[in-house]
Structure 1
Amino acid sequence: MGIERRIGYMMERSIYDKRLIRPIMKLGRVIPVSSTAAKDAFRSAKKRLKENEIIGVVPEGSISHGGEIGKIYPGFQIIAQGVDAVIIPFYIDGIYGSIFSRAPKRDAKMSNIMRRRIRIIYGAPLSIDSDAKALHDAITHLKETHGSE
């Protein structure tokens, strides 16, 4: 299934603000989010959804430290309130152990980036009213049925 519209993902501000990647993130319409300014990021995401844009949210708040699916935080629900949209669960496969993961440095090598296959696996749409458990279950299903990690 292809998507002909650009997806603007949300990203942790500390990563977004890195000097070398920030210009690329701006071109990609990435929304930086931090614990101190989460409400601003949520407002920006909600505004874009209302403008019929697609927003990708990592509902765990960050990439996991051990490759497992973490606790789902309510940010996705806050963004979704009052928006006519659906939730598309996704799983990022192959990221654990890459330089983009939070794996221990011995597991995350720069040389891995050229040989590593990272893919985003999308699931079936969920109702905008879906709760954290439903989203966690959907992401877990994607990992178990399509993931390689």
Structure 2
Amino acid sequence: MTFYSFVKSVVLGILKPIYRFEVTGREHFPKEGGVLLCSNHINNFDPPVVGINAPRPVHFMAKEELFKVPLLGKIVSNLNAFPVKRGMSDREALRKGLAILKEGHVLGIFPEGTRSKTGELTKGLSGVGFFALRTDAAVVPCAIIGPYKAFKRLKVIYGKPINIQELRDKKASAEETTELIMEEIRKLINENR
């Protein structure tokens, strides 16, 4: 058993009884090949919640500051996360994300870049469109519908992969691609509230 799968089972065992996960759409998740997993962001627990409920291991970009915390930084690294400098274009993080997708792994990303203070979906950053356009990865939208309250149901919905081939063919902008992805996340939220 890998460290990732061990931690996943422990965290699932702790969080599942508290948040009573209702997970739908796992069948939409491609069984192999690169996957760009794009979710809304409403709580600090979103990365573990998305990760433990996904059918495949997920690599997340995480804010650089987490890796500087003793012990936590080591744990986060061993859970497939890699650092990103927020508020600027981080070429190293972009290269790492592209490599993960091209190697056929799952890259989890929160296109909003930070938690929504209102719980409503905010504007997505163009980085997610960049990853979608620069690889052949399947783009899977995900919606987390709260509240994060003990013993209340927390929904995690994985949507069908978004067909962005037309955008790739016409060499669409990263911004246009991000807007399409955000619209699919919004639809998942509205259909499952």
Conserved 8 A contact 1:43-1:79: no
Count of residue correspondences? 131
Conserved 8 A contact 1:92-1:121: yes
Give 3-state SS (helix, strand or coil) of 1:69's partner.
coil
Residue identity in the other structure for 2:162: L
Q: Distance in 1 between matches of 2:63 and 2:158?
A: 21
Q: Distance in 1 between matches of 2:155 and 2:80?
A: 20
Q: Distance in 1 between matches of 2:102 and 2:69?
A: 29
Percent identity, please: 26
**1:16 CA displacement:** 4.9
Query: How has the CA–CA distance of structure 1 residues 132 and 18 changed in structure 2, closer, same or farther, with 3 Å as cutoff?
Result: same
Unaligned runs of 5+ in 2: 1-25, 28-53, 168-175
- 1:39-118 matches, cutoff 5 A: 39-94=91-146, 112=149, 115=151, 117-118=153-154
**1:120 CA displacement:** 3.0
Alignment pair present for 1:121 and 2:167: no
Who is 1:141 aligned against? 187
From 149, 158, 178, the counterpart of 1:132: 178
Unaligned runs of 5+ in 1: 99-111
Conserved 8 A contact 2:126-2:178: yes
**1:22 CA displacement:** 2.5
Residue identity in the other structure for 1:138: E
Normalized per residue, which structure has more helix? 2
From 60, 68, 78, the counterpart of 1:9: 60
